[in-house]
Amino acid sequence: MTMTDDGFALPDGFLMGASTSAHQTEGGNTASDWWAFEQLPGGPVAEPSGDAADSYHRWREDMDLLAGLGFNAYRFSIEWARIEPVRGQVSRAALAHYRRMVEGARERGLEPVVTLHHFTSPRWFHESGGWTGPEAVDLFAAYVRTVAPVLDGQVRYAATLNEPNMLALAHTALRQGAGFADFRTLEPADYISEALITAHRTARETLHGLLPGVRVGWTVANQVYQPEPGAEDVCRAFAWPREDRFLEAARDDDWVGVQSYTRTRIGSGGPLPVPEDAERTLTGWEFYPAALGEAVRHTADVVGPGVPVLVTENGIATRDDARRIDYTAAALAGLADAMRPGGSDGEAGENTAGSGGVDVRGYLHWSALDTYEWGSYGPTFGLVAVDRETFVRTPRPSGRWLGEQARAGRLAVR
C-alpha cells in the first residue's frame, strides 16, 4: 500500500462498495416487529415503510447498478421475519430468494457481506420476549442454522447483529417509556446488553461449526466520544456501556464492523449539544467527516490488532450531493491515515494496530440507495436516488465518483 501523487493505493482484495438493510429497502416486511410498530395508532412513527425501495423484487437492478459504478462489494441483510414468519414455519421460498441474491452478487463481481439481523425480528419473536425472552439465544441460533445454507460456499463475511449497542438502547428506551431523542443520555440496561452479547457469541460458534470458511463478526455504532478538557474519566465511563462493551465482545471475532457518521462531545455533565455554528446534516448530526478515521483507530485500540476492521457504514444524509462527495472524501482521507503505519506517507507493510496502521479490509458506504430511515424517507443517504412513486433508480454523481475510486483501487487523498 502506498501514498502517491495519485492518492492512496488500496491493498489487494480491499472491498469498496455500499450497504443496505432488508427492512429499509425491500418493502412489505409485514411479519416483522418493526412493521407492527409502524402501524400503531398514534404511535411515534410518522411514516411507515410500506413498499420501501421495492428491492425485494428489484435487487438485480440494484446490484447491476453497483457493479456498473465500479464497486466490488455489497452489504445487505437477510430478513428473519421472511425466513420464519411464524415460529417453526420456515419459508423455503425466502431461503431460495436470499440464496439467489448471494449468488447474484457473486455473478456480478460483488463480494456479498451478509448481515443476519439488521434491527428487525419476527413479530412472534418480539411477542415471546424478544432478546430477553427465555429462549431468545436458542431461537436465534436455530435461525442461524436455518440460513447457513444461504451462505455456504458463497459468503466470506457474515455479521450476526447490526449495531447491538443501538438495539440495546432501543430496547431500554421502550421498556422505560423514553423517546428516541433520549438516546444521547440513555444507558442500555445491563441485562439486554448481556443477552445480545450471548446471542452473538452463540451465533458465531454456530456458524463456525457449520461453515468454517465464513468469517463472523458484528457491527458497532461508533459515536466517536470526545472529552472536553478535564472530562476524560466521564467520557470513558459514558462510552463503556454504550460502545466499548460491545467492541470488547468482538475480541474473539474474525472481524469487526465500524459504523461511523459524526462525533459526540462529552463534558463534565455528559454529552454536549452540537455547536451552534456547526453544519448539520438532514438527521441533525454535525457534519464531521473526521469521525471515520477516529472511530477506526478507537475500535482497533479496544479490540486489538488480531481483529481486522470492515467499515460497514459511513455516509451523510443531504440534499446536496456535492457535500456528500466533500464529506466522503474527507472521511476517506482519515481512513487512509488510520491505515497507514505511523500516519505518514510511504510503503505500507502488514496493516495492524500494533504496527501503527489499522488492518482495514473494506469500506462500505451507507447507503447504496435512498432508504427508509426508521420512521421517515426524508434523510437521503443514497449514492443512488430512488423515486418514491416509480422506484426508478438514478445514480448520483457521488456514486460515480466513489465508484471510480473503487475501480482504480485508490483513494483520491493527499
Q: How many CB atoms lie within 10 A of CB 161?
A: 26
Closest by CA to 364, choosing from 157, 144, 106, is 157
In the residue annotation, 228 being an active-site residue is answered as: no
What domain count does the chain have?
A: 1
> How is residue 212 written as a grid cell?
468454517
In angstroms, the CA 263 to CA 239 distance is: 12
Half-sphere exposure of 29 (CA within 13 A, CB side): 35
> How is residue 219 written as a grid cell?
457491527
15-19 and 360-366: which strand pairing? parallel
Q: Is the pLDDT of residue 348 over 60?
A: no
Look at residue 412 and tell me if it is in a domain.
no
Residue, of 182 and 306, whose pLDDT is higher: 306
- Residues 90-144 have pLDDT tens digits of 999 999 999 999 999 999 999 999 999 999 999 999 999 999 999 999 999 999 9
Residue with cell 442454522: 145
| CA–CA–CA angle 170, 221, 303 (5° rounding) | 125
Q: What is the mean pLDDT of residues 391-407?
A: 98
Residue with cell 442461524: 144
In angstroms, the CA 29 to CA 84 distance is: 12
Residues 32, 35, 39, 40, CA torsion sign: positive
Look at residue 126 and tell me if it is in a domain.
yes
Look at residue 122 and tell me if it is in a domain.
yes
In angstroms, the CA 18 to CA 396 distance is: 13
Yes or no: say if 189 and 177 are a contact pair by the CB < 8 Å rule. no
> How is residue 259 written as a grid cell?
459504523
- Residues 254-272 have pLDDT tens digits of 999 999 999 999 999 999 9
Q: Which of 26, 38, 163, 294 is catalytic?
A: 163
Task: Reply yes or no: is the peptide bond before residue 367 cis, omega within 30 of 0.
Answer: yes
Closest by CA to 80, choosing from 150, 174, 152, 156, is 150
Look at residue 59 and tell me if it is in a domain.
yes
What CATH code is carried by the domain that includes residue 177? Answer: 3.20.20.80
pTM, to two decimals: 0.95
CA 351 to chain centre: 22
Closest by CA to 359, choosing from 305, 303, 299, 414, is 305
In angstroms, the CA 281 to CA 412 distance is: 23
Q: Is the pLDDT of residue 6 over 90?
A: no
| CA–CA–CA angle 206, 212, 217 (5° rounding) | 65
Average the pLDDT over each of 11-25, 147-161, 340-354 and give the range with the smallest value.
340-354
Confidence band for 180, pLDDT divided at 50, 70 and 90: low
Look at residue 210 and tell me if it is in a domain.
yes
Look at residue 62 and tell me if it is in a domain.
yes
HEC assignment per residue over 340-387: CHHHCCCCCCCCCHHHCCCCEEEEEEECCECCCCCCCCCCCCCCEEEC
Q: What is the mean pLDDT of residues 329-342?
A: 95
Mean pLDDT of the chain: 94
In angstroms, the CA 31 to CA 90 distance is: 13
Q: How many CB atoms lie within 10 A of CB 24?
A: 27
In angstroms, the CA 132 to CA 327 distance is: 39
Q: At 179, which amino acid appears? A: G
Q: What is the mean pLDDT of residues 184-190?
A: 92
Q: What is the mean pLDDT of residues 357-385?
A: 98
Residue with cell 419476527: 122
Closest by CA to 21, choosing from 290, 392, 312, is 312
Look at residue 413 and tell me if it is in a domain.
no
> How is residue 90 written as a grid cell?
420456515
Look at residue 414 and tell me if it is in a domain.
no
Percent share of the chain, pLDDT over 70: 94
Residues sharing a CB contact under 8 Å with residue 255, sequence separation 6 or more, in sequence order: 157, 215, 216, 217, 307, 308, 309, 310, 361
In angstroms, the CA 256 to CA 362 distance is: 11
Yes or no: say if 383 and 311 are a contact pair by the CB < 8 Å rule. no
Residue 113: give the domain boundaries. Answer: 3-407
The partner residues of 89 in beta bridges, in order of sequence, read 86
